Amino acid sequence: MIEIKNLCKVFGDKRAVDDVSFRVEEGEIMGFLGPNGAGKSTTLNILTGYLSATSGTCLVDGMDILEQPLEAKRNIGFLPEMPPLYTDMTVKEYLNFIYDLKGCTFPREQHLREICDVVKIGDVFGRLIGNLSKGYRQRVGIAQALIGNPRVLIFDEPTVGLDPKQIIDIRNLIRMLGKEHTIILSTHILPEVQAVCDRIVVINKGKLVANEKTEDLVTAVDGSRKMVAKIVGPQEDVLKALRTVAGIRTVEVLGKRDTDSISYLIESEERVDARKPLFYMLSTKGWPLVGLEGVELSLEDIFIRLVGESRRKSRKGGEG
C-alpha cells in the first residue's frame, strides 16, 4: 500500500532522513518508533507531500506523491504532530470545510455524522475549536483525517499531551480504525506500539534501525530481563545467595524502599527466565519474596540494543 524507497532528506548540512526504505501492506497497522528528533515527522511529512525528499521515492497505492500528488493525497488522511485546526471555526464549520477541501462526493450530512460518532465529538459539534480541550482537539484532528474515507491513515504522535484515559481512548480508536484502514502510527512510546501495532519500524538519527513484527522485536530486545525483587532478610547473606542462582548475571542493591524489605535490581542472562530458581532458592532459605516486578525497557535501552545488534551482525558479516 505504501512503499518508501531510499528516502533521504537533507536540511542544510543535517541529514534528517538517511536512506530509509520500508513497505506497509494493505490493512496493516505499522508503528513508527523513534526518539524525538529521529526524523519520524520529516519522513511522514514527505510521505504526505508536505515536504519534498532530497532523493528517493514515496509510493502510495502505486502512485508517486511527487508525480501524481492529487491522486496520491486523496488516499491519505494525515494528522500532523500539531493538529491543523482553525481555532476561529466551529467543529461543524471546520469539518464541512475539510469535506469541501478534499472534494468528497459522499452524502455530506451522513458522512460527517458517522465520523463524529466514531471519534465521539458529537457533543461539541457546534462549539468553537478554540474553546475545546486538548483531548477534543486531537479527536477533531482525527476526524479531519477520516473525512473522505481515505485508505491510508497517518497519525504523527497522536497521544502526546493527553491524560492517561484519553490516551487509552485514542489507542482503542486507532485499533478500531485499523480494521478498515492501513495505518502508520508514529510515536516515541514503546508500550503504545506494542499495544496497537502489527509491525514496528524503528528509526534513529535518520537511519532505519529495525523493521520487524511486533512480537519479534519485543523478544529481540527483551532477551535479557531486568527486574526488581523486594526480599525480606539480611542484606549481605541475600546478596551472596542471589549471586549463586543459575541464570542471574548481576545483582545490585537498591536499598530499603519498604518498611521491612530490601530492593535488589537483578539482571538475568539473555533468554533465561531466572524467576523460578530465584523463588525456590528464597523459599528454601526462608526469606520472603514480597515483590517482584519487571523493569520496562526504555526507548534508549532498545536503541542501544538494536544498534549494538546490528553492529555485531555487520561485523560478523564482514568476517564471513
Question: What are the residues binding other proteins (CB under 8 A)?
Answer: 11, 45, 48-52, 69-71, 73-74, 76, 78, 80, 82, 84-89, 93, 97-98, 100-103, 144
Sequence-distant (6+) residues with CB within 8 A of 212 are 199, 200, 220
Compare residues 84 and 234 and give the one whose CB is closer to other proteins.
84
- Write out the three cell numbers for 60: 502510495
Strands (E), 141-206: 152-156, 182-187, 199-204
Instruction: Please state the φ and ψ torsions of residue 150, each to the nearest 5 degrees.
Output: -70, 155
User: At its nearest, how many Å lie between other proteins and the CB of residue 112?
Assistant: 14
User: At its nearest, how many Å lie between other proteins and the CB of residue 10?
Assistant: 10
Sequence-distant (6+) residues with CB within 8 A of 310 are 209, 210
How far is 145 from 152, CA to CA, in rounded Å?
A: 10
User: At its nearest, how many Å lie between other proteins and the CB of residue 171?
Assistant: 23
How far is 306 from 57, CA to CA, in rounded Å?
A: 26
Compare residues 102 and 175 and give the one whose CB is closer to other proteins.
102
Q: How many CB atoms lie within 10 A of CB 91?
A: 26
User: At its nearest, how many Å lie between other proteins and the CB of residue 11?
Assistant: 8
- CA-based R_g, the chain, Å: 24
How far is 181 from 67, CA to CA, in rounded Å?
A: 24
Return the residue matching grid coordinates 502512485.
63
Compare residues 151 and 226 and give the one whose CB is closer to other proteins.
151
User: At its nearest, how many Å lie between other proteins and the CB of residue 166?
Assistant: 21
User: At its nearest, how many Å lie between other proteins and the CB of residue 102?
Assistant: 6
Compare residues 140 and 245 and give the one whose CB is closer to other proteins.
140
Compare residues 82 and 254 and give the one whose CB is closer to other proteins.
82
Compare residues 49 and 291 and give the one whose CB is closer to other proteins.
49
Instruction: Please state the φ and ψ torsions of residue 261, each to the nearest 5 degrees.
Output: -95, 160
Compare residues 84 and 288 and give the one whose CB is closer to other proteins.
84
Q: How many CA atoms lie within 13 A of 232 on its CB side?
A: 10
Compare residues 102 and 249 and give the one whose CB is closer to other proteins.
102
User: At its nearest, how many Å lie between other proteins and the CB of residue 170?
Assistant: 19
How far is 32 from 155, CA to CA, in rounded Å?
A: 10
Residue 208 identity (one-letter amino acid): L
Give the pairing type, strands 29-33 and 182-187: parallel
User: At its nearest, how many Å lie between other proteins and the CB of residue 1?
Assistant: 17
User: At its nearest, how many Å lie between other proteins and the CB of residue 13?
Assistant: 13
Compare residues 88 and 293 and give the one whose CB is closer to other proteins.
88
Which residue, among 159, 153, 156, has the nearest Cα to 176 in the 3D structure?
153
How far is 267 from 203, CA to CA, in rounded Å?
A: 27
